[in-house]
Amino acid sequence: MVKVGFIGLGLMGKPMARNILKKGFSLAVYNRSRAPVEELASMGAAPCSSPAEVAQRSEVLITMLPDEPQVAEVLTGVFEGMRSGLVLVDMSTVSPMFSRQMAAAARSRGGDMLDAPVSGSTMAAEQGNLTIMVGGSRKTFEETLPVLQAMGKNIFYMGESGAGSFAKLCNQIAVAVNLLGVCEMLLLASKAGLNLSQVVEVVSTGAGGSWQLANLGPRMISRDFNPGFKVKHLRKDLRIIREISEKLGLPLQAVALVSELIKALDEKGHGEEGTQALIKLVETLASHQISNA
Ligand SMILES: NC(=O)c1ccc[n+]([C@@H]2O[C@H](COP(=O)([O-])OP(=O)(O)OC[C@H]3O[C@@H](n4cnc5c(N)ncnc54)[C@H](OP(=O)(O)O)[C@@H]3O)[C@@H](O)[C@H]2O)c1
């Protein structure tokens, strides 16, 4: 079995790394803060003190980091310890142009790189059920598939480098616009005096059902704003989508609206909360806090 490395052990990365260990791969890990490194080490992973050390110990090296500056910083270290043939798999949500740049840098050093962002949130990361969208060489994708299968169930080859990142951004448009719809739906239901839990259940069985509604609707109602997917990360995704749509001349009205709201929510200090916290901003604008009749 190939030797795997994992850098970025946050809400997503830690359970993903755990699943790789569970499947019997040898695993080397690194993270900025040490606590998750120690936790994975107690389960059998090799703790590393730098990205270069992870690179030296790996044949496939996965990164799951917040944004492009962190991926670029980590890969600078990885390139120092990189041997020819190393396959990098960046599973962070970043722009396709950045994915292509990093893949070219990896190839120029005798390695290869896939962009393989994910969908499904922390629950799917824990259960090994993630959807994974992959861009890069098909041959490298096929060789890396057993490692990806340790983390995900629905794994799609999307095309050349950057295609995985493009697919993920498409996913994020549907996520963000739908999230706002769920907030507004609950606002109206609350004003109408309906039982909100029942409304979530009813709509979930019909054509209005969605992942956002089924998973985040109940958390909005119970005012559980703990993060699965952080507001600051959705802000970043929407920023990337808007930069690309600007370059392509695409008018994306719903994206513009929801990205301004998410930006305002982050600026109000809710960046570390889950995206379901959008309900708070929608409530403020409507001068009405939702409550279960
Ligand atoms: N959460 C979701 O539901 C979800 C779903 C799909 C995709 N994503 C995407 O997946 C990526 C990760 O998301 P997440 O929710 O796991 O984020 P997160 O909880 O914020 O975790 C990020 C991790 O990266 C580490 N890190 C940051 N900078 C680093 C550096 N320079 N060197 C080493 N480690 C560094 C952090 O370490 P510290 O412990 O020091 O902070 C933290 O452990 C993001 O691009 C996000 O958009 C998230």
Closest atom of ligand 1 to CA, residue 8: 24
Closest atom of ligand 1 to CA, residue 33: 40
Question: Cα(206) to centroid of ligand 1, in Å?
Answer: 34
Name the CATH superfamily, with its identifier, for domain 166-286. Answer: N-(1-d-carboxylethyl)-l-norvaline Dehydrogenase; domain 2 (1.10.1040.10)
What was the pLDDT predicted at 158? Answer: 98
39: exposed, middle or buried (Cβ count in 10 Å: 0-12, 13-18, 19+): middle
Residue with CA nearest ligand 1 atom 23:
10
Question: Which of 32, 99, 266 to mutate for ligand 1's pocket (most ligand atoms within 8 Å of CB)?
Answer: 32
Question: Cα(186) to centroid of ligand 1, in Å?
Answer: 30
What was the pLDDT predicted at 16? Answer: 98
Question: Cα(9) to centroid of ligand 1, in Å?
Answer: 7
Q: Which residues of the chain have pLDDT under 50?
A: none
Question: Cα(1) to centroid of ligand 1, in Å?
Answer: 26
CA dist 191 → 206, 281, 284, 290 (Å) = 21, 16, 14, 8
Catalytic residues: 168
What was the pLDDT predicted at 189? Answer: 98
Give the Cβ contact number of residue 85 at 10 Å: 9
| Stretch (H or E) spanning 89 | strand 87-90
- Residues with beta carbon inside 6 Å of ligand 1? 7-13, 31-33, 64-66, 70, 73-74, 92-93, 118-119, 121-122, 228-230, 233
Do 89 and 147 contact (CB within 8 A), yes or no? yes
pTM: 0.98
Residue with CA nearest ligand 1 atom 7:
118
Question: Cα(245) to centroid of ligand 1, in Å?
Answer: 25
Do 164 and 114 contact (CB within 8 A), yes or no? yes
Question: Using CA of residue 78, residue 108, residue 135, residue 256, what is the dihedral sign?
Answer: positive
Residue with CA nearest ligand 1 atom 15:
11
Domain span(s) for CATH 1.10.1040.10 in the chain: 166-286
In 3D, which of 233, 245, 228 has the Cα closest to residue 11?
A: 228
Residue with CA nearest ligand 1 atom 22:
10
Model pLDDT for residues 183-232, shown as the tens digit of each residue: 999 999 999 999 999 999 999 999 999 999 999 999 999 999 999 999 99
What was the pLDDT predicted at 293? Answer: 74
Question: Which of 6, 7, 11 to mutate for ligand 1's pocket (most ligand atoms within 8 Å of CB)?
Answer: 11
Provide the 8-state DSSP code for 289: -
Name the CATH superfamily, with its identifier, for domain 4-160. Answer: NAD(P)-binding Rossmann-like Domain (3.40.50.720)
Domain span(s) for CATH 3.40.50.720 in the chain: 4-160
245: exposed, middle or buried (Cβ count in 10 Å: 0-12, 13-18, 19+): middle
CA dist 181 → 42, 86, 88, 172, 217 (Å) = 43, 43, 37, 14, 10
